[in-house]
Structure 1
């Protein structure tokens, strides 16, 4: 509990809103997706995931972890393919670096793939994993939203890390 509270206070001190974002890609994502008042789910991180899938018009998702997302995905995106060869979105409660490298080496991830990790500040181990993931050379854009984190593979963009209040 103390770890989460301390992490949240650090997050509040470092975070910004859309005015602190200088990347057009991230600015549009924040203003046209994350800050929309539309509510698709009561769980904040799942709501962010569902809004992101709609915003980017993703069609294929790979699910790792305990979270049961099949029902909300079927309700909001009946044509979504779970477990396709080419992955638009990877959802993970916990994503190991080796798993991400394997997906990339198997060429299942593409230039506009999004990796969505739930509860990145829940434990010190998850915080360390998040820091290690954003340091990977293949990750160019990372967004910490406290409740979750999003990683993007965008070859046309310089490596940047954002801490966004939502």
Structure 2
């Protein structure tokens, strides 16, 4: 692994002994919120997950403007470009895409996303994928077993 950012995230967050939820995507979401100490997140159209996050992190703000973390079930290239153009992501924002292998369409969308020049880091965790727009990072794609 070449990226210190990804190495720390994987070893100190994803591979930490804590299991916060039985669903792997939700577990990654909760662990990521705790690890990065996010203040503002957006969870689209998933009230049960939003409620779970609120229970675990009562100070978290759910925002539709600029966010630290965006959690979505699927993400298309046009939707990602719209999010960028609307200024919803800042320099250190992350996007967690759930269910990237649930069907052929989701996987195809994921593979299109990770080729975009704006996306510098992508982590395929099978159950979900994380993308980053960290400009100081050399473009790399990682496949991690969780």
Tell me if TM exceeds 0.5. yes
- Match for residue 145 of structure 2? 165
Deviation, structure 1 residue 79: 1.1
Which is richer in helix?
1
Matched, 1:32 2:7: no
- C-alpha distance in structure 2 between counterparts of 1:109 and 1:135, whole Å: 18
Point out the structure with max Rg over C-alpha.
1
Which range is displaced more, 34-43 or 140-149? 34-43
From 41, 55, 60, give the equivalent of 2:21: 41
User: Normalising by the residue count of structure 2, what TM-score does the alignment of the two structures yield?
Assistant: 0.95
| Structure-2 residue corresponding to 1:129 | 109
Q: When the two structures are aligned, how many residues end up with a matched partner?
A: 146
Task: Deviation per CA, 1:118-157: give whole Å up to 9, x if none.
Answer: 1101111111000011011111000000010000110101
TM-score by length of 1: 0.84
User: Considering only aligned residues, what root-mean-square deviation do their CA atoms show, in Å?
Assistant: 1.2
The one of the two structures with greater contact order (alpha-carbon pairs below 8 A, sep at least 6) is 1
* Unmatched tracts of structure 1, length 5 or more: 1-20
